Amino acid sequence: MTDNTALFERALAAIPGGVNSPVRAYGSVGGTPRFLVSAQGPYVTDAEGREYVDLVASWGPAILGHAHPDVVKAVTDAAARGLSFGASTPAETELAELIEERVAPVERVRLVSTGTEATMTAIRLARGFTGRDLLIKFAGHYHGHSDGLLAAAGSGVATFALPGSAGVPAPIAALTLVLPYNDLDAVRAAFAEHGDRIAGLIVESAAANMGVVAPDAGFNAALAEIAHANGSLLIVDEVLTGFRVSSAGYWGLDRSYTPDLFTFGKVIGGGLPVAALGGRADVMEHLAPLGPVYQAGTLSGNPVAVAAGLATLRGADDAVYAHLDRTAAAVSAEVSAALTAAGVAHAVQTAGNLFSFVFGESVAGGVRDYAGVLSQESWRYPPFFHAMQDAGVNLPPSVFEAWFVTAAHDDAALARIIEALPVAAKAAAS
Ligand code: PLP
């Protein structure tokens, strides 16, 4: 079967919504999802044999480009030595050490398989360490799909305009205080009211699951200060930004504050399931087997996945980050110029080499929080998305997602994007 429509119909009969992660269903852009069969460098190819310049990059992991030869070799070499042992391996320690070298506040690392597990465990650890039960998160921030984190979340929850998720017991949801992003007064007020019950705050280091919304200058540092003044922990979620916006993640662009815990994912697995939490040794040592906070995983630190992560991180050198920065600046400037030429009011939202766009006159100065993101003319995005796709460019299928470039995006890939833009920008204008 080689037809996207037929493949989707078949998937719909076997898988809820035909997909294994909601945003893949194209719910907010409409049309038939492309079924991908291969990917190389900056390109992905669908079942009908059409090739697209990819600006999704598997939602971040493919930082070196798809199927980078060093990563593929590391994976095939590791696979030939055995797929999974359920026991300690030397490579796990190498990956932990590499993360600790690059992100100074991280003194210990525990590997897990998904970002959801990493944030879920970090929160349990914050509660176990402080003996408190409340958690602060910010509206529009996405930290995976564990029960307490789905309130006012970004990513697919925003794409489908859900307030949260059914199936989350009210007493669990009530333990999460959801505050507006970039609003320190709201944070101070929450601590004034509940300070001795707040175990921690979790924040995306830069929000990138409601489109991209960077923290105000000094915002993350102020969160650290407020948390520490109140005996709470700051958990900085770098699942998406970690090792993507710099070799030390978004924290590495500033380094002025010291989070207690970090979460990582995506790039540290290089396309295979590896994620991690890491941070202060005294906090991390509350995890089993040293401490009373339980966490475990049959496939945690899987040798094939760790090999992919190590090869990816080792390949991500200064030249890669410089290339990502240049390419992100070039793509976002070209998109912005095309939208301006077509008369579409918009703003480019950036955080390091991550970027996205908000549409409409009322947001043309940029947005700082979830309410701002939701107030845009988001209906302009689907026609833009489809025109780009028709011209061979694969964009995130939702206006509430970041765009991702890779080290493999070269002049030819950029030229294809530039060629596609005038028609797409016109589609967004109508
Ligand atoms: N945290 C952030 C900031 C994310 O962007 C994501 C996924 O997009 C997650 C956590 C959850 O990671 P995973 O999808 O691996 O469970």
d(CA 238, CA 33): 28
Ligand 1 and 238: CB distance under 6 A: no
Ligand 1 and 382: CB distance under 6 A: no
pLDDT at 162 over 60: no
Mean pLDDT of the chain: 96
pLDDT at 392 over 70: yes
As annotated, the active-site residues are 142, 237, 266
Q: Is the ipTM of this complex over 0.85?
A: yes
What distance in angstroms lies between residue 172's CA and the mean position of ligand 1's atoms?
Answer: 20
Helix, coil or strand: residue 414 = helix
Concatenate the DSSP letters of all residues of 9-56 into one string.
Answer: HHHHHHSGGG-SSGGGG-TTT-SPPP-EEEEEBTEEEETTS-EEEESS
CATH topology of domain 4-63+317-429: Aspartate Aminotransferase, domain 1 (3.90.1150)
What distance in angstroms lies between residue 118's CA and the mean position of ligand 1's atoms?
Answer: 9
Task: Determine the CATH number of domain 69-315.
Answer: 3.40.640.10
pLDDT tens digits for 167-199?
888 888 889 999 999 999 999 999 999 989 999
Ligand 1 and 349: CB distance under 6 A: no
Predicted local distance difference test score (pLDDT) of residue 1? 62
Predicted local distance difference test score (pLDDT) of residue 169? 86
CB atoms inside a 10 Å sphere around CB 334: 15
Predicted local distance difference test score (pLDDT) of residue 2? 79
Query: Model confidence at 263, in pLDDT bands (50, 70, 90)?
Result: very high
Mean pLDDT along residues 325-354: 98
- Partners of residue 233 on adjacent β-strands: 200
**Residue ranges of domains in the chain:** 4-63+317-429, 69-315
- Structure tokens that stand for 213 in this block: 């919304």
Mean pLDDT along residues 410-415: 98
pLDDT tens digits for 41-80?
999 999 999 999 999 999 999 999 999 999 999 999 999 9
pLDDT at 156 over 90: no
Inter-residue contact 99 to 279 (CB < 8 Å): no
pLDDT tens digits for 129-142?
999 999 999 999 99
pLDDT > 90: percent of the chain:
93
